[in-house]
Amino acid sequence: MLGWSNERKLEALLWQAESLAAQLAAVADEQAAFTKARDAAIERGQVLAGLDQTRDFADIDWQSAVNRAEELKAEKRELEAASAELARLNHELETVRDQISATEGTHGEVQQRLGSIDSEIARAERIRGEVSATLAEPDCDPARIRFEAITSLLAQGTNAPPSTAEACDKAENAASEQISTLIDQRTTRRTALGNKIVSLMGKFRAAYPEETGELDAAVEAADGYRELHQRLTDDDLPRFQQQFKTYLNQNTIRDIAGFQSQLNKQAEVIRQRIDTINQSLVGVDYNPGRYIKLEAQPSPHVDIRDFRSDLRACGAGSPAPAPC
């Protein structure tokens, strides 16, 4: 309808809403109060149920227990304050506790060491069993087991003799390596000496082919050369060698000088004979007023010239030849 206003109706609705809100708030407060009362009733019921199980007042007399605890604490404080001995004992008690803690730590370390020693004992027993098994082998002689035999070998390799059973394997390997090195060195040396011996045997056979006709230039034939040397020693050839050397030094040069003197005499004889022939040829005319004359001249042959030169060199400084 034109000109109609609903403000009063809106105001009435707003008032009614506010009234309902106030009622709702009152109901909520009442509900909260009921809930609180219910919770309190439940708690009282639980307390009553606990009380129903209690038969002695001391079980619920907590105030007496608290009072007794406070009395004891006060008494303890009085005793501590009044007795220096108790303070000293407390200090000693703390010290003993510290010592006990330290001892417990040491005890743990000792237990660990004992465990390690037990392991070492077990390992030693195992090694002893292995050694006993080795010593029980047929070819094993305990009296011959010595480290002196390999001490020098280990020293060459800057290794010390084994001080424990575990070190024996390492020492064995080191000694084996050193022995292998020595074997290689001595094999090389033996090969070089063998080659040198064979070379000297070859030279000896070339110098004395008749005496060594049945000998070979090989190391395996060394016994034959030793027998030949022994035979020469038994025949006392060195003494004859000295006599020959003495004869060579004293008589041979003199004989050479005598031989040269004889050659010179024969050359002089030949010249004298040529002079005699020339005297005869003077009376024989070859052509009118001419005759033949022979002249003595040295032989131009190279071997003869060299021989005479060597002969003069041998006789140089020699004593005078004995008269023929």
Instruction: Kindly report, residue by residue over 200-243, the tens digit of the pLDDT.
Output: 888 888 888 887 888 888 888 888 888 888 887 777 666 677 77
Looking at residue 148, its pLDDT comes to: 61
Say if 19 falls within a structural domain.
no
Say if 315 falls within a structural domain.
yes
Mean pLDDT value of segment 250-264: 79
Looking at residue 162, its pLDDT comes to: 62
Question: pLDDT class for 323, splitting at 50, 70, 90?
Answer: very low
Looking at residue 253, its pLDDT comes to: 73
In this structure, the answer to whether residues 243 and 322 fall within a common structural domain is yes
Domain around 95: 88-126
pLDDT higher at 302 or 321: 302
Residue 165 has pLDDT above 70, yes or no: no
Question: pLDDT class for 301, splitting at 50, 70, 90?
Answer: confident
Looking at residue 135, its pLDDT comes to: 66
Cβ atoms of residues 168 and 145 within 8 Å: no
Say if 4 falls within a structural domain.
no
Kindly report the pTM of this predicted structure.
Answer: 0.32
Looking at residue 322, its pLDDT comes to: 40
Residue 144 has pLDDT above 60, yes or no: no
Question: pLDDT class for 319, splitting at 50, 70, 90?
Answer: very low
In this structure, the answer to whether residues 228 and 252 fall within a common structural domain is no
Looking at residue 324, its pLDDT comes to: 34
Say if 104 falls within a structural domain.
yes
DSSP 149: H
Looking at residue 173, its pLDDT comes to: 73
Minimum mean pLDDT range among 52-56, 116-120, 184-188: 52-56
In this structure, the answer to whether residues 196 and 228 fall within a common structural domain is yes
CB atoms within 10 A of CB 267: 13
Say if 137 falls within a structural domain.
no
pLDDT higher at 64 or 147: 64
In this structure, the answer to whether residues 250 and 230 fall within a common structural domain is no
Structural domain count, the chain: 3
Which of 210, 235, 260 represents a domain boundary (last residue)?
Answer: 235
pLDDT > 70 fraction of the chain, expressed in percent and rounded: 76
Question: pLDDT class for 140, splitting at 50, 70, 90?
Answer: low
What is the amino acid identity at position 168? C
pLDDT > 90 fraction of the chain, expressed in percent and rounded: 0
In this structure, the answer to whether residues 314 and 291 fall within a common structural domain is yes
C-alpha to C-alpha distance for 221 and 202, rounded to whole angstroms: 12
In this structure, the answer to whether residues 253 and 230 fall within a common structural domain is no
Say if 259 falls within a structural domain.
yes
- Tell which phi-psi region holds residue 158, choosing left (phi > 0), alpha (psi between -120 and 50) or beta: left
Residue 154 has pLDDT above 70, yes or no: no
Residue 275 has pLDDT above 70, yes or no: yes
In this structure, the answer to whether residues 227 and 294 fall within a common structural domain is no
Q: Mean pLDDT of all residues in the chain?
A: 77
pLDDT higher at 18 or 5: 18
Cβ atoms of residues 318 and 253 within 8 Å: yes
Cβ atoms of residues 270 and 294 within 8 Å: no
Say if 143 falls within a structural domain.
no
Residue 125 has pLDDT above 50, yes or no: yes
Residue 293 has pLDDT above 80, yes or no: yes
In this structure, the answer to whether residues 301 and 254 fall within a common structural domain is yes
Which of 205, 235, 265 represents a domain boundary (last residue)?
Answer: 235
Say if 70 falls within a structural domain.
no
C-alpha to C-alpha distance for 120 and 142, rounded to whole angstroms: 25
pLDDT higher at 318 or 142: 142
C-alpha to C-alpha distance for 281 and 274, rounded to whole angstroms: 10
Which residues sit opposite 290 in a β-bridge? 287
